[in-house]
Chains A and B, each alone.
Chain A
């Protein structure tokens, strides 16, 4: 491991890579602060830039920095104007905004920054311990286990979508997988389902799909509903210091929530959003009676808990990505797509074949957290000025950058029309409460899933591999339970509710 850390240090501590971290964090903070733009949109907008950098470690360092920055920026706008830029910082606004209204915006921002820093750093330490161990186990996996593992991951993502939503999430996942089969597959060398359209020969563009699924609907929502981008700024920010007693109060909260957040982040399908809400709920439940009263009215504990948890969860979500090559959330799915475009195959071999990428990313997480703390804390009052950018300027530029992202990747104007079409579809799907992240994750995992399935089928000359390999059978069993259990429970709850409503 120490050898790895040294490799990581030498890769991460080059001048250009440190610039990448700083640049990524700053860009992420800036854009994450804008209401309506989540980390998924920001990262998909940044992907063409990252791909043209060419060096995979530098690109991944940049994107990871953007990811952290976006979460941090999101918490800033949650605290200052009660408009969370990012879903995972909604819980931050519960106690952050009351603090800001009470004139303690500076203190709230400091607590948020320190909690984020601790959450991210503790998460990075845990990542350093867990990821190599998991990768060693994963090296024993064959293609059939990989296939089963991806099925488990996809089922978990569908299952975590919430009760009553499982069928919708599953349908979206399958739709993503179906979209992945369009075009020329690597294994068969023949075009499928292109309907004779030349532009579909190479399949749907991944950046185009990511933009259409996330950036475009969010921009359209901003257009449709102007109140989503309210521009009232929350007064002057001063007095960033916190007292020793306050530090003592939040320290155990940060410790607990960093570990819990990390664990939740590792699970597929449960990302930073769930971690932050759960962290907030847990801390409120275990707090003393008088502390409980303060939650929701400006409690420092209530602010520290979701902030530590969401940053730790961001780090945790890198574990399945870097060791198994399976993304646990929409954001890591986009990162996976970027890695594949850069000719890197994340998975257990990554640590053996390209250790410099793996370790450089981990080391850059420390640097990124430090940069966010040192650079952004004094700059926050100035960066917060971006919240005053008028909507009339903001929206055209978001649309323009969305289109540039799709265009630069393919250099093809048809791609822009596909983008608009898919974007309209995605917006309608969002109206009807269909989750969009499963579609993208399914799309990205689709070709890998099929490749591993085909390899297993060829090795065992049929479906025999499912019975021959107990681990495969076990994993597929877990996947089935994950899908069936929530639907069964939702059904039972519905039946019970029905009985009450009928009254007989």
Chain B
């Protein structure tokens, strides 16, 4: 089964769960005065989910064009291991890590770490250029966001105060 049909199947299952919620659980707590309305909170979702299930079934069961390989210049998912899959997964893990570290470690440290390690994951080895660039860029972005845009970013680790 081609990837697009697998995706249609997954979307179909999401829609079924959503549809179950829309048809059976959403209206349970509806106050009586709202039940007299022509439209309920579940009306629109019900319409959507019926159409979405129909579409997903068309893709899933329809006689599509079949597997004809990736287009020129596009990435062929069947040969995913030929690409730099490891790097991509590592970078995604780095992003998740950054999300978890941002608050406790503070913006400055976590950002410098993220930018430096990501570049090294991609193959950069010249730390003498890399570190100054990331430190400078981090400082600049922090200054712009905190001072110019006025959005608070905790600059330092949690045990070193709030940093104003």
Contact = CB atoms under 8 A, between A and B. Distances in A.
Interface of A: 48-49, 52, 164, 167-168, 170-171, 174-175, 177-178, 181, 185, 187-188, 190, 192-193, 220-221, 223-226, 390-393, 395-397, 399-400, 403-404, 407-408, 411, 413-414, 416-417, 419-420, 423-424, 428-429, 431-434, 450, 453-454, 457-458, 460-462, 494
A458 to B, nearest CB: 6
A129 B119 CA distance: 50
A469 to B, nearest CB: 16
Interface string B32-45: 00100111011111
Nearest to A195: B21
Contact of B38 (A224, A434, A457): A457
Contacts of A223: 84, 87-88, 91, 122
Contacts of A392: 119, 122-124
B158 interface: no
Given A193-B45, A223-B91, A397-B137, 9 more contacts: A223-B88, A224-B83, A225-B83, A396-B122, A400-B114, A408-B149, A413-B103, A424-B92, A453-B44
Contacts of B133: 393
Contacts of A462: 38
A396 B118 contact: yes
A167 B3 contact: no
B21 A413 contact: no
How big is chain B's contact interface, by range? 35 or more
B44 A181 contact: yes
Contacts of B23: none
A178 B44 CA distance: 9
24 contacts: A48-B149, A49-B149, A52-B151, A167-B62, A168-B4, A178-B52, A181-B48, A192-B26, A192-B45, A193-B45, A223-B88, A224-B75, A391-B122, A395-B118, A396-B114, A400-B115, A411-B152, A413-B100, A413-B102, A413-B103, A423-B92, A428-B3, A458-B39, A462-B38
Interface of B: 2-4, 6-8, 11, 15, 18, 21-22, 26, 29, 34, 37-39, 41-45, 48-49, 51-52, 55-56, 58-59, 62-65, 75, 77, 80, 83-85, 87-88, 91-92, 94-96, 98-100, 102-103, 111, 114-115, 118-119, 122-124, 130, 133, 137, 141, 145, 149-152
A404 B45 contact: no
A450 B22 CA distance: 15
Majority DSSP secondary structure for residues of B touching A: helix
A461 B15 contact: no
Contacts of B118: 395-396, 399
B48 A178 contact: yes
A413 B99 contact: yes
Contacts of A432: 2-4, 6-7, 77
A396 B98 CA distance: 12
| Ranked 10 nearest A-B pairs via Cβ | A416-B99, A396-B118, A392-B124, A431-B77, A432-B4, A174-B52, A224-B83, A171-B55, A457-B39, A432-B3
B150 A399 contact: no
A175 B59 CA distance: 14
Majority DSSP secondary structure for residues of A touching B: helix
B37, B44, B137 — which one has the most chain A CB atoms within 10 A of its CB? Answer: B44
B99 A175 contact: no
Contacts of A461: 38
A453 B39 CA distance: 9
A400 B116 CA distance: 11
Contacts of B80: 224
Given A181-B48, A224-B84, A174 B95 contact: no
Nearest to A429: B7
Contact of A420 (B77, B83, B92): B92
A437 to B, nearest CB: 16
